[in-house]
Amino acid sequence: MKKVLFVTNIPSPYRVDFYNQLGKFVDLTVVFEATGAQDIRFDYREIFKNFTAIFLSEGNIDEKKLNSAIFQYLIPKKYDYIFLTNYSYRTELFGYLKCVFSKIPFVLEIDGGKIPESENFLKYQFKKFILTKPYYYFSPSQSSDDFLAHYHVNKENIYRYSFTSLSEKDIRYQIVDEKEKQFLRKKLGFSPTKKTILFVGRIIPGKGVDVLIKAVQNLSDDVQCLIVGPSPDSEYKQYLLDLIGQDSRFHFIDFLQTSELKQYYKLSDIFVLPTKSDVWGLVVNEAMSQGLPVISTSACVAAIELVSNGNNGYIIDRVDDWKAIFQKLSKVLQDDSLRVQLSQNALSTIKHYTIETMVKEHLKFMEEK
């Protein structure tokens, strides 16, 4: 059985699911930098079923702090494959550099990437140095391939994988019917008959929640907008509340567990992520898994990879373009047959993006290399 090491930041649930499934086929060790992050804490030790978990520190991760404990786990010839996942955190960066200078072969696995619009010369040269050192790369999308190639990575060494947080059991086989949507809306305290727009994510300026609010304010009164995510800081929250005014169509819902969140995807008609920058955006996968058409921006890598205009949703070319979002929302919400077709196509698109597929892709790579 092949010995495999992954080094990553924290034990987020979908990563633990992936490691548990991969660990059925390889002798897997995972080194986590910390047990959680600010405002988020994971404790999944009781479900570390099929791999050995090592924590470099307890508590929240500090991206700027070097934890030298990483060095003891990066040992030449101890593992058949070493996967590093984040060179932007200082601890993992120094582990990365140890592999480079000790000539320890490793694979870089990225969650996404976009070529920056501007970058100074020194930063570009540093990233070029860093990114050309792995032996192989795992990339989730064409735009991520292009990001790597921008720093002179050989595309022949890039392997595609289906980045996701979902298992096969999480993906619906058919769209949710209107009767069930109305039942769930009523159960959770929303208008059962209003068309429902959903946003899920951190409520921060970079996610474009204000842009969504402006778009929805110009729609007819027979819609409602659910904004799900941890409560924002007081200044931004007040800005959003001032923007909404007395409009009762908007509902803020605090952080939800996965099982609760699924209910919100099921009761909604369309998902909107007007982000200004997302190297991936797993909420796009999650929304499509419940048959939701997706409206997002060209700044979201998941949308670029998964959303096809007029097929399963729409991509807005310019961030902050609330008028374009308004136009697409109007088009979809006013045309039931179009919405059903987009929903069915969303399920068809996402059905192969599963953790089971990710495991197969990693095992295939190990067989070939």
* Per-residue pLDDT tens digits for 144-159: 999 999 999 999 999 9
Cα angle 43-44-49, degrees, rounded to a multiple of 5: 160
Q: 3-164+354-368: which CATH topology?
A: Rossmann fold (3.40.50)
Higher-pLDDT residue of 63 and 7 is 7
The 3-state DSSP class for residue 33 equals coil
pLDDT above 80 (res 64): yes
At residue 45, the pLDDT reads: 58
The pLDDT > 70 percentage for the chain reads 98
At residue 43, the pLDDT reads: 57
Q: Provide the b/e sequence for 48-60 (b: ≥16 CB within 10 Å).
A: eeebebebbeeee
Q: Tokens in use for 177? A: 């019917």
Average per-residue pLDDT in the chain?
Answer: 95
Burial classification of residue 137, based on how many CB atoms lie within 10 Å of its CB (0-12 exposed, 13-18 middle, 19 or more buried): buried
pLDDT tens for each residue of 85-96? 999 999 999 999
CATH 1.20.1250.20 fits 169-351, yes or no: no
CB atoms within 10 A of CB 296: 28
At residue 225, the pLDDT reads: 99
pLDDT above 60 (res 172): yes
What's the CA gap between 311 and 274, in Å, rounded?
A: 18
At residue 125, the pLDDT reads: 97
What's the CA gap between 47 and 137, in Å, rounded?
A: 28
Q: Are 216 and 227 in contact (CB under 8 A)?
A: no
At residue 42, the pLDDT reads: 57
At residue 36, the pLDDT reads: 79
Q: Tokens in use for 96? A: 């990365």
Rounded mean pLDDT, 121-138: 96
Full DSSP string of 140-166: SSHHHHHHHHHTT--GGGEEE----S-
The domains spanning 3-164+354-368 and 169-351 adopt the same CATH topology = yes
**Which of 16-20, 115-119, 180-184 comes out lowest in average pLDDT?**
115-119
At residue 238, the pLDDT reads: 95
In this structure, are strands 158-160 and 250-253 parallel, antiparallel, or unpaired? Answer: unpaired
CB atoms within 10 A of CB 4: 23
pLDDT tens for each residue of 22-63? 999 999 999 999 987 776 655 565 688 999 999 999 888 888
Domain ranges of the chain: 3-164+354-368, 169-351
Q: Are 266 and 184 in contact (CB under 8 A)?
A: yes
pLDDT above 80 (res 289): yes
